[in-house]
Structures are given as structure tokens and as C-alpha cells.
């Protein structure tokens, strides 16, 4: 039963409750106010078919006029059509009342205020209902369109990760083959494991934090092999991963950027990576020394990884992350704090 209820949208329940309450009021209130006498009950029973005509009036407005005129022609033609519909039903109900009570149509036209009030009341309520449903659907369509655009952009950003990372991996392999051929084979095998993770396991939208940390540690180990004692590389992971999940490849672009710009013509290069977390939040930081006294030559791909990950953070953790990227003196600093998804 609970599974059945979960498949029914909340909007459907709201509509059902509204109609139950509204039609109970419309059809039951006259019997409570005017049905206290036998004569009153007799007249109300006679007029009950006329009262039922408020139902087609309501649904002609909400299910036919509003969907067609509001969407295609706007509010002006819609309001004019409602006025015409109300006038039509006033005449219909006056005619039915004169027939049901066995009096002349002309006599009923002389005192139609009660009929006019009920028709206008139902028309006003149905118009408010139709406008609410229309605005709700418009907002829902905008949200769906916005969500589809964001999902499309996110898919594109994820597709960019693969070639960008592969280029960096190939550069590392070329370096090892040229400078340390004895390490080329085992390191290439390790690199293939990293690529397998990046291409297949990280294709999921969410992965265990433990896998992402293993990937980060393997990447840093490879860089230590590559740079040996030339670069001081420090990785500090203070906590032990549990059931936390995270979007894949969020930390590695900042680490890649540190190795790209934190080595070379730099006095005593140092790269520090810190990861702390608990059950709710992740605290990640990277800092590296940068060259001073001259502009750095950048290739066409420079900054792609950073722009990519910054945009993915905006899409995936819009209100649950804080990112700080800045340069202070000879240091480039990145601080990222995000709350894990539940």
C-alpha cells in the first residue's frame, strides 16, 4: 500500500482533496442553510439537477478553455471566453430553474441574482484553480528544461575529463620511458589501473569516498616516482573513509594543477595535499609554490581541468560547497569544503 501511494504525485492528492471539499461545500451547503424545513428540502431536491450544472461549468473552464486559450492566446482571450461561458450558464440555469419549479422563464429572469451569484462564484473559483494549475505546470516545465540543460552540461563536462586526464598520463609515460626506463613497465601498469578507474568506475555519478582517496594516493605515488627528490610532495589524509559518497574526480584536477605549475624553475618546490573529513563534510586543500619574476607560458589546454571541476561543483553541490582559489606571495592555494550527499 505504501509503495502504491509513493507512486502517486502529491499534486494528484491536492487536486482530489480540493474537489472533495469544494463540491461537498457547493452541493451540501444549500441543504444545511435552506433545508431545515420540509418545503425547503422539497425545493432543493427539485433544483438539484440545476445545481449539478456547476460541475460541467467548472470543468469546461479548467479542462478545456484554460489549456487551450491560456497557452496559445494568453490571458485576454481566456478571460473573454470565461465571461461568455458564465453568461451562457446563467441562462441555462435560469431556464432549468423555471422548468423545474414550473414557473415562467421571464419571471425567473426578473430575479436572477441567486443564480448569477452561484455561476459567478463557480466561475471565479474554477478560474483561480485553472490559473494555479497553469502556473504550476509552467514552473514545472521551466524546472524540467533547466534540469535537462544542467544534466546535458554535466554530461559534457564529464566527457571532457577523459581526454584531459589521458593527455597527462601519456606525458608521464613518455617521461618515464626517456629518463627511467626500468620503471616504465611497472609504472605503466599502475597508470593503466588509474585509467581504468577514471574511465569505468568513475562513470557513476556517485562513488565511495574510499575509492576516490585510493585513486588520489596512487596518483601522488606515481608523481613521487617521477620527481624523486626534486620535489617535496606531502600527502596527509587524517580520517578513515566510511560510508561517504562523492562525485568522482573532484579533487584530482586541483592536484594536477599543482604538479603542472608547482614544479620546474622553482626554488625548492613543495606540494602539500591535505584531506580531512567526517560523516557530513570534506575538507580538502592543496598548496604549491609558484614561479616568480616572470610570466608563465601556458598551452591552449591550460586551465581546462580547473574550469571543468569548478563548474561541476556549481552544478552538483550548488549550496553545499565552498571553494577558495587564490595566490598569496609565492604560494598558490586551493581550499575546498563540501557536504556529502545523502
Using the CB atoms, write b or e for 300-337: b if 16+ within 10 Å.
eeeebbeebbeebbeebbeeebebeeeeeeeebebbbb
- Per-residue pLDDT reduced to its tens digit, 54-89: 999 999 998 888 888 877 788 888 889 989 999 999
Q: How far apart are CA 191 and CA 172, in angstroms?
A: 9
- Backbone φ and ψ for 228, nearest 5 degrees, come out as 50, -125
Domains of the chain and CATH, by start? 2-143 (no CATH), 180-339 (3.30.565.10)
- Per-residue pLDDT reduced to its tens digit, 190-235: 777 777 777 666 655 788 899 889 889 988 888 887 787 889 999 9
Cell of 198: 577514471
Q: How far apart are CA 96 and CA 103, in angstroms?
A: 10
The residue among 116 and 152 whose pLDDT is bigger is 116
Question: Residue length, the chain?
Answer: 342
Q: How far apart are CA 315 and CA 175, in angstroms?
A: 36
Q: How far apart are CA 169 and CA 134, in angstroms?
A: 53
Q: How far apart are CA 172 and CA 160, in angstroms?
A: 19
- Whole-model pTM? 0.56
Looking at 95-99, 132-136, 145-149, which range is the least confident one? 145-149
Amino acid at each position: 500500500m505504501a509503495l502504491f501511494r509513493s507512486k502517486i504525485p502529491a499534486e494528484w492528492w491536492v487536486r482530489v482533496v480540493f474537489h472533495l471539499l469544494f463540491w461537498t461545500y457547493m452541493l451540501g451547503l444549500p441543504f444545511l442553510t435552506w433545508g431545515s424545513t420540509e418545503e425547503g428540502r422539497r425545493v432543493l431536491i427539485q433544483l438539484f439537477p440545476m445545481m449539478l450544472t456547476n460541475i460541467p461549468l467548472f470543468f469546461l473552464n479548467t479542462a478545456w478553455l484554460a489549456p487551450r486559450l491560456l497557452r496559445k492566446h494568453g490571458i485576454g482571450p481566456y478571460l473573454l471566453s470565461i465571461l461568455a461561458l458564465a453568461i451562457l450558464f446563467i441562462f441555462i440555469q435560469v431556464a432549468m430553474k423555471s422548468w423545474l419549479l414550473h414557473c415562467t422563464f421571464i419571471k425567473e429572469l426578473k430575479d436572477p441574482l441567486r443564480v448569477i451569484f452561484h455561476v459567478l462564484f463557480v466561475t471565479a473559483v474554477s478560474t483561480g484553480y485553472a490559473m494555479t494549475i497553469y502556473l504550476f505546470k509552467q514552473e514545472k516545465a521551466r524546472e524540467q528544461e533547466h534540469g535537462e540543460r544542467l544534466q546535458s552540461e554535466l554530461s559534457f563536462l564529464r566527457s571532457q575529463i577523459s581526454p584531459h586526464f589521458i593527455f597527462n598520463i601519456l606525458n608521464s609515460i613518455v617521461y618515464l620511458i626517456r629518463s627511467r626506463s626500468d620503471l616504465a613497465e611497472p609504472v605503466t601498469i599502475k597508470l593503466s589501473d588509474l585509467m581504468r578507474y577514471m574511465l569505468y568506475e568513475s562513470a557513476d555519478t556517485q562513488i565511495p569516498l574510499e575509492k576516490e582517496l585510493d585513486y588520489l594516493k596512487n596518483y601522488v605515488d606515481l608523481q613521487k616516482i617521477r620527481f624523486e627528490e626534486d620535489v617535496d610532495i606531502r600527502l596527509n589524509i587524517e580520517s578513515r573513509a566510511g560510508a561517504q559518497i562523492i562525485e568522482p574526480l573532484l579533487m584530482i584536477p586541483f592536484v594536477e594543477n599543482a604538479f603542472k605549475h608547482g614544479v620546474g624553475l622553482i626554488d625548492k618546490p613543495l606540494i602539500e595535499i591535505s584531506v580531512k573529513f567526517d560523516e557530513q563534510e570534506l575538507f580538502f586543500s592543496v598548496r604549491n609554490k609558484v614561479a616568480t619574476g616572470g610570466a608563465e607560458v601556458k598551452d591552449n589546454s591550460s586551465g581546462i581541468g580547473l574550469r571543468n571541476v569548478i563548474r561541476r561543483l556549481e552544478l552538483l553541490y550548488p549550496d553545499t560547497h565552498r571553494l577558495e582559489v587564490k595566490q598569496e606571495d609565492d604560494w598558490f592555494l586551493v581550499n575546498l569544503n563540501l557536504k556529502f550527499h545523502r
